Amino acid sequence: MPYKPKLWQQILYQVIFALVALFVLLPIWELAYLAFDGGVVGWPTSFHLLPSQPTLDIFVTMWNQAGQSVTFLNALENSLIVSIGSAALAVALGASMAYAFARFRFPGRQTGLFGLLLGTLLPPVALMTPLFVLFRSLHIQATLLALTLVYTSFSMPFAIWNMRVAFQSAPRELEEAAFLDGAGHFTAFWRISLPLALPAIGIAALVAFLIAYSEFAMGWLFVNRSDQVTLAMAISGILNGNNLSWSRLAALAILMCAPVVVIFVILQKSILERMLFNSPGNGAS
Protein backbone atom coordinates (compact mmCIF):
# COMPACT_ATOMS: atom_id res chain seq x y z
CA MET A 1 0.00 0.00 0.00
CA PRO A 2 1.55 3.33 -1.03
CA TYR A 3 2.41 5.83 1.68
CA LYS A 4 -0.05 8.71 1.94
CA PRO A 5 1.15 11.74 3.91
CA LYS A 6 -1.11 13.32 6.46
CA LEU A 7 -2.84 16.63 5.82
CA TRP A 8 -0.40 18.69 7.86
CA GLN A 9 2.50 17.00 6.06
CA GLN A 10 0.99 17.83 2.67
CA ILE A 11 0.53 21.45 3.71
CA LEU A 12 4.12 21.59 4.97
CA TYR A 13 5.44 20.11 1.71
CA GLN A 14 3.46 22.59 -0.36
CA VAL A 15 4.74 25.52 1.69
CA ILE A 16 8.34 24.31 1.31
CA PHE A 17 7.91 23.82 -2.45
CA ALA A 18 6.35 27.28 -2.77
CA LEU A 19 9.30 28.87 -0.94
CA VAL A 20 11.77 27.03 -3.16
CA ALA A 21 9.86 28.13 -6.28
CA LEU A 22 9.83 31.71 -5.00
CA PHE A 23 13.55 31.56 -4.30
CA VAL A 24 14.20 30.40 -7.88
CA LEU A 25 11.68 32.55 -9.76
CA LEU A 26 12.07 35.87 -7.94
CA PRO A 27 15.58 36.65 -9.30
CA ILE A 28 14.37 35.78 -12.81
CA TRP A 29 11.40 38.10 -12.38
CA GLU A 30 13.64 40.90 -11.16
CA LEU A 31 15.95 40.33 -14.13
CA ALA A 32 12.99 40.82 -16.45
CA TYR A 33 11.90 43.89 -14.46
CA LEU A 34 15.30 45.52 -14.88
CA ALA A 35 15.38 44.73 -18.60
CA PHE A 36 11.97 46.29 -19.29
CA ASP A 37 12.19 49.30 -16.96
CA GLY A 38 13.53 52.39 -18.66
CA GLY A 39 13.54 54.33 -15.40
CA VAL A 40 16.44 52.41 -13.88
CA VAL A 41 19.70 54.31 -14.33
CA GLY A 42 22.87 52.70 -13.05
CA TRP A 43 22.31 50.69 -9.87
CA PRO A 44 18.73 49.76 -8.86
CA THR A 45 17.95 51.44 -5.54
CA SER A 46 14.59 49.86 -4.68
CA PHE A 47 12.62 46.65 -5.14
CA HIS A 48 9.73 46.61 -7.60
CA LEU A 49 7.56 43.85 -9.00
CA LEU A 50 6.53 45.76 -12.12
CA PRO A 51 8.47 48.24 -14.29
CA SER A 52 7.64 51.87 -13.58
CA GLN A 53 8.49 52.92 -17.17
CA PRO A 54 7.96 49.88 -19.43
CA THR A 55 10.00 50.03 -22.62
CA LEU A 56 11.70 47.87 -25.25
CA ASP A 57 14.37 50.45 -26.05
CA ILE A 58 16.93 48.66 -23.87
CA PHE A 59 16.55 45.46 -25.90
CA VAL A 60 16.88 47.45 -29.14
CA THR A 61 20.05 49.07 -27.82
CA MET A 62 21.61 45.74 -26.83
CA TRP A 63 20.51 44.13 -30.10
CA ASN A 64 22.35 46.80 -32.05
CA GLN A 65 25.39 46.96 -29.76
CA ALA A 66 25.88 44.06 -27.35
CA GLY A 67 29.52 45.02 -26.85
CA GLN A 68 32.13 47.35 -28.18
CA SER A 69 31.84 47.33 -31.99
CA VAL A 70 29.79 44.12 -32.00
CA THR A 71 26.07 43.53 -32.44
CA PHE A 72 24.05 40.89 -30.66
CA LEU A 73 23.90 38.71 -33.76
CA ASN A 74 27.68 38.91 -34.20
CA ALA A 75 28.29 37.93 -30.56
CA LEU A 76 25.66 35.19 -30.82
CA GLU A 77 27.34 33.81 -33.93
CA ASN A 78 30.69 33.70 -32.15
CA SER A 79 29.12 32.02 -29.10
CA LEU A 80 27.40 29.39 -31.23
CA ILE A 81 30.57 28.69 -33.22
CA VAL A 82 32.67 27.97 -30.14
CA SER A 83 29.84 26.27 -28.20
CA ILE A 84 28.62 23.95 -30.94
CA GLY A 85 32.18 23.30 -32.07
CA SER A 86 33.41 22.37 -28.60
CA ALA A 87 30.35 20.18 -27.94
CA ALA A 88 30.79 18.36 -31.26
CA LEU A 89 34.51 17.82 -30.67
CA ALA A 90 34.01 16.69 -27.06
CA VAL A 91 31.42 14.10 -28.15
CA ALA A 92 33.21 12.98 -31.30
CA LEU A 93 36.60 12.59 -29.61
CA GLY A 94 35.24 11.38 -26.29
CA ALA A 95 32.81 8.71 -27.54
CA SER A 96 35.47 6.33 -28.81
CA MET A 97 37.57 6.85 -25.67
CA ALA A 98 34.55 6.29 -23.44
CA TYR A 99 33.72 3.09 -25.34
CA ALA A 100 37.29 1.86 -24.94
CA PHE A 101 37.25 2.50 -21.19
CA ALA A 102 33.87 0.75 -20.90
CA ARG A 103 34.53 -2.36 -22.98
CA PHE A 104 38.28 -3.08 -23.05
CA ARG A 105 40.82 -3.92 -20.38
CA PHE A 106 44.29 -2.53 -21.07
CA PRO A 107 47.33 -1.38 -19.08
CA GLY A 108 46.90 2.07 -17.60
CA ARG A 109 43.10 1.98 -17.81
CA GLN A 110 42.52 2.90 -14.17
CA THR A 111 45.26 5.52 -14.29
CA GLY A 112 43.65 7.06 -17.36
CA LEU A 113 40.24 7.18 -15.70
CA PHE A 114 41.78 8.79 -12.62
CA GLY A 115 43.55 11.32 -14.82
CA LEU A 116 40.27 12.25 -16.49
CA LEU A 117 38.60 12.62 -13.11
CA LEU A 118 41.47 14.79 -11.94
CA GLY A 119 41.00 16.92 -15.04
CA THR A 120 37.43 17.72 -14.00
CA LEU A 121 38.68 18.94 -10.61
CA LEU A 122 41.37 21.29 -11.91
CA PRO A 123 40.33 24.94 -12.11
CA PRO A 124 40.38 26.33 -15.66
CA VAL A 125 42.88 28.99 -14.60
CA ALA A 126 45.48 26.27 -14.06
CA LEU A 127 45.41 25.47 -17.78
CA MET A 128 45.47 29.02 -19.11
CA THR A 129 49.26 29.46 -19.36
CA PRO A 130 50.16 26.08 -20.95
CA LEU A 131 47.28 26.32 -23.44
CA PHE A 132 48.23 29.88 -24.37
CA VAL A 133 51.87 28.87 -24.94
CA LEU A 134 50.77 25.87 -27.02
CA PHE A 135 48.37 27.84 -29.22
CA ARG A 136 50.86 30.67 -29.58
CA SER A 137 53.41 28.22 -30.94
CA LEU A 138 50.76 27.10 -33.44
CA HIS A 139 49.90 30.74 -34.28
CA ILE A 140 46.21 30.31 -33.45
CA GLN A 141 46.10 31.89 -29.98
CA ALA A 142 43.88 34.81 -31.05
CA THR A 143 41.23 32.86 -32.98
CA LEU A 144 37.86 31.29 -32.29
CA LEU A 145 39.45 27.93 -33.13
CA ALA A 146 41.74 28.24 -30.10
CA LEU A 147 38.78 29.16 -27.90
CA THR A 148 36.85 26.15 -29.22
CA LEU A 149 39.75 23.82 -28.41
CA VAL A 150 40.07 25.31 -24.92
CA TYR A 151 36.42 24.68 -24.13
CA THR A 152 36.69 21.19 -25.62
CA SER A 153 39.50 20.36 -23.21
CA PHE A 154 37.34 21.51 -20.30
CA SER A 155 34.25 19.49 -21.25
CA MET A 156 35.84 16.27 -22.50
CA PRO A 157 36.53 14.67 -19.07
CA PHE A 158 32.88 14.97 -18.04
CA ALA A 159 31.70 13.82 -21.46
CA ILE A 160 33.93 10.74 -21.36
CA TRP A 161 32.87 9.73 -17.86
CA ASN A 162 29.20 10.28 -18.68
CA MET A 163 29.31 8.32 -21.94
CA ARG A 164 31.43 5.58 -20.37
CA VAL A 165 28.64 4.80 -17.91
CA ALA A 166 26.14 4.69 -20.78
CA PHE A 167 28.31 2.25 -22.77
CA GLN A 168 28.72 0.07 -19.70
CA SER A 169 24.93 -0.07 -19.33
CA ALA A 170 24.45 -1.23 -22.92
CA PRO A 171 23.83 -5.03 -23.01
CA ARG A 172 26.94 -6.98 -23.98
CA GLU A 173 24.73 -9.71 -25.42
CA LEU A 174 23.78 -7.48 -28.36
CA GLU A 175 27.43 -6.88 -29.22
CA GLU A 176 28.27 -10.57 -28.81
CA ALA A 177 25.45 -11.46 -31.19
CA ALA A 178 26.85 -8.98 -33.69
CA PHE A 179 30.32 -10.54 -33.34
CA LEU A 180 28.81 -13.95 -34.15
CA ASP A 181 27.39 -12.44 -37.34
CA GLY A 182 30.84 -11.29 -38.37
CA ALA A 183 30.77 -7.69 -37.14
CA GLY A 184 33.92 -6.06 -35.84
CA HIS A 185 34.38 -3.82 -32.82
CA PHE A 186 33.81 -0.65 -34.85
CA THR A 187 30.57 -1.98 -36.34
CA ALA A 188 29.32 -3.05 -32.92
CA PHE A 189 30.23 0.36 -31.54
CA TRP A 190 28.64 2.32 -34.40
CA ARG A 191 25.46 0.31 -34.92
CA ILE A 192 24.66 -1.04 -31.45
CA SER A 193 26.33 0.71 -28.52
CA LEU A 194 26.29 4.23 -29.93
CA PRO A 195 22.51 4.35 -30.60
CA LEU A 196 21.80 2.96 -27.12
CA ALA A 197 24.01 5.64 -25.56
CA LEU A 198 22.41 8.57 -27.41
CA PRO A 199 20.64 10.00 -24.32
CA ALA A 200 23.93 10.19 -22.41
CA ILE A 201 25.66 11.57 -25.50
CA GLY A 202 22.98 14.23 -25.80
CA ILE A 203 23.40 15.23 -22.17
CA ALA A 204 27.20 15.35 -22.53
CA ALA A 205 26.86 17.51 -25.64
CA LEU A 206 24.39 19.82 -23.88
CA VAL A 207 26.68 20.25 -20.86
CA ALA A 208 29.68 20.91 -23.13
CA PHE A 209 27.61 23.46 -25.04
CA LEU A 210 26.59 25.27 -21.84
CA ILE A 211 30.17 25.32 -20.53
CA ALA A 212 31.41 27.04 -23.66
CA TYR A 213 28.35 29.27 -24.01
CA SER A 214 28.60 30.74 -20.51
CA GLU A 215 32.39 30.96 -19.98
CA PHE A 216 34.08 34.34 -20.38
CA ALA A 217 37.30 34.47 -18.32
CA MET A 218 39.30 32.31 -20.72
CA GLY A 219 37.83 34.13 -23.69
CA TRP A 220 39.60 37.37 -22.88
CA LEU A 221 42.95 35.55 -23.00
CA PHE A 222 42.43 33.85 -26.36
CA VAL A 223 40.43 36.56 -28.15
CA ASN A 224 41.79 40.04 -28.74
CA ARG A 225 39.53 41.32 -31.51
CA SER A 226 36.18 43.00 -30.87
CA ASP A 227 34.49 41.10 -33.71
CA GLN A 228 35.30 37.78 -31.96
CA VAL A 229 33.66 38.63 -28.64
CA THR A 230 31.11 36.10 -27.37
CA LEU A 231 27.91 36.93 -25.49
CA ALA A 232 29.37 35.90 -22.13
CA MET A 233 32.36 38.15 -22.77
CA ALA A 234 30.03 41.01 -23.71
CA ILE A 235 28.16 40.64 -20.40
CA SER A 236 31.42 40.61 -18.45
CA GLY A 237 32.44 43.71 -20.38
CA ILE A 238 29.34 45.51 -19.12
CA LEU A 239 30.11 44.46 -15.55
CA ASN A 240 33.69 45.68 -15.80
CA GLY A 241 32.85 48.89 -17.63
CA ASN A 242 33.01 52.36 -16.16
CA ASN A 243 29.30 53.06 -16.66
CA LEU A 244 27.61 49.95 -15.34
CA SER A 245 23.97 49.72 -16.44
CA TRP A 246 21.99 46.94 -14.80
CA SER A 247 19.16 47.39 -17.29
CA ARG A 248 21.49 46.76 -20.22
CA LEU A 249 23.03 43.84 -18.37
CA ALA A 250 19.59 42.30 -17.70
CA ALA A 251 18.42 42.80 -21.29
CA LEU A 252 21.55 41.18 -22.72
CA ALA A 253 21.27 38.31 -20.24
CA ILE A 254 17.69 37.62 -21.37
CA LEU A 255 18.71 37.78 -25.03
CA MET A 256 21.59 35.42 -24.29
CA CYS A 257 19.34 32.91 -22.50
CA ALA A 258 16.75 32.81 -25.30
CA PRO A 259 18.74 30.54 -27.70
CA VAL A 260 19.55 28.11 -24.87
CA VAL A 261 15.88 27.87 -23.88
CA VAL A 262 14.91 27.25 -27.51
CA ILE A 263 17.54 24.51 -27.88
CA PHE A 264 16.44 22.85 -24.65
CA VAL A 265 12.77 22.92 -25.65
CA ILE A 266 13.63 21.37 -29.01
CA LEU A 267 15.85 18.62 -27.58
CA GLN A 268 14.12 17.76 -24.30
CA LYS A 269 11.37 15.68 -25.88
CA SER A 270 13.81 13.59 -27.87
CA ILE A 271 16.14 13.06 -24.90
CA LEU A 272 13.30 12.16 -22.53
CA GLU A 273 11.78 9.74 -25.03
CA ARG A 274 15.10 7.98 -25.54
CA MET A 275 15.77 7.84 -21.80
CA LEU A 276 12.36 6.25 -21.23
CA PHE A 277 12.86 3.87 -24.15
CA ASN A 278 16.25 2.80 -22.86
CA SER A 279 15.16 2.42 -19.23
CA PRO A 280 15.34 -1.06 -17.63
CA GLY A 281 11.56 -1.18 -17.37
CA ASN A 282 11.30 -1.11 -21.15
CA GLY A 283 13.59 -4.05 -21.69
CA ALA A 284 16.64 -2.24 -22.99
CA SER A 285 19.05 -3.53 -20.37
- Domain with 16, as residue range(s), is 1-39+48-55
Mean pLDDT of the chain: 83
Residue 30 lies in a domain: yes
Tell me what pLDDT residue 33 has.
Answer: 84
Is residue 164 assigned to a domain? yes
SS (H, E, C) the chain: CCCCCCHHHHHHHHHHHHHHHHHHHHHHHHHHHHHHECCCCCCCCCCCCCCCCECCHHHHHHHHCCECCECHHHHHHHHHHHHHHHHHHHHHHHHHHHHHHHHCCCCCHHHHHHHHHHHHHCCHHHHHHHHHHHHHHCCCCCCHHHHHHHHHHHHHHHHHHHHHHHHHHCCHHHHHHHHHCCCCHHHHHHHHHHHHCHHHHHHHHHHHHHHHHHCCCCHHHHCCCHHHCCHHHHHHHHHCCCCCCHHHHHHHHHHHHHHHHHHHHHHHHHHHHHHHHCCHHHCCC
Residue 104 lies in a domain: yes
pLDDT tens sequence across 129-149? 888 888 889 888 888 999 999
Q: Between 200 and 268, where is the model more confident? A: 200
- Given a cut of 60, whether residue 118 has pLDDT beyond it is yes
**To the nearest 10°, the Cα dihedral for 63, 69, 74, 75?**
-80
Residues 14, 131, single domain; the answer is: no
Residue 34 shares a structural domain with residue 147: no
Judge whether 79 and 232 are in contact, CB under 8 Å.
yes
Query: Is 205 a domain residue?
Result: yes
Q: Is residue 61 part of a domain?
A: no
Whether 144 and 243 map to the same domain: the answer is yes
My answer on whether 93 and 217 are in the same domain is yes
pLDDT at 90 over 70: yes
Q: Which residue has the higher pLDDT, 125 or 222?
A: 222
What whole-number percentage of the chain has pLDDT above 90?
18
Q: Are residues 71 and 191 in the same domain?
A: yes
* 241 band by pLDDT with thresholds 50, 70 and 90: low
* Residues 28 and 147 occupy one common structural domain: no
- Residues 211, 101 share a domain: yes
In this structure, the answer to whether residues 207 and 272 fall within a common structural domain is yes
Separation CA 78–CA 68 (nearest Å): 14
Share of the chain above pLDDT 70, in %: 89
- For residue 168, tell me if it sits in a domain: yes
- Residue 86's pLDDT is 94
Is residue 62 situated within a structural domain? no
Domain identity same for 112 and 184: yes
Q: Does 60 reside within a domain? A: no
Looking at residue 74, its pLDDT comes to: 92
- Evaluate if residue 215 carries a pLDDT over 60: yes
80 and 207 together in one domain: yes
- Band of the pLDDT at 242, cuts 50, 70, 90? low
Q: Are residues 88 and 151 in the same domain?
A: yes
Global pTM reads: 0.82
CATH of the domain at 179: 1.10.3720.10
- How many domains, the chain? 2
Judge if 31 and 73 occupy the same domain: no
Least confident of 39-53, 60-74, 87-101, 153-167: 39-53
Task: Please compute the mean of the pLDDT values over residues 116-133 and round it to a whole number.
Answer: 81
pLDDT at 243: 66
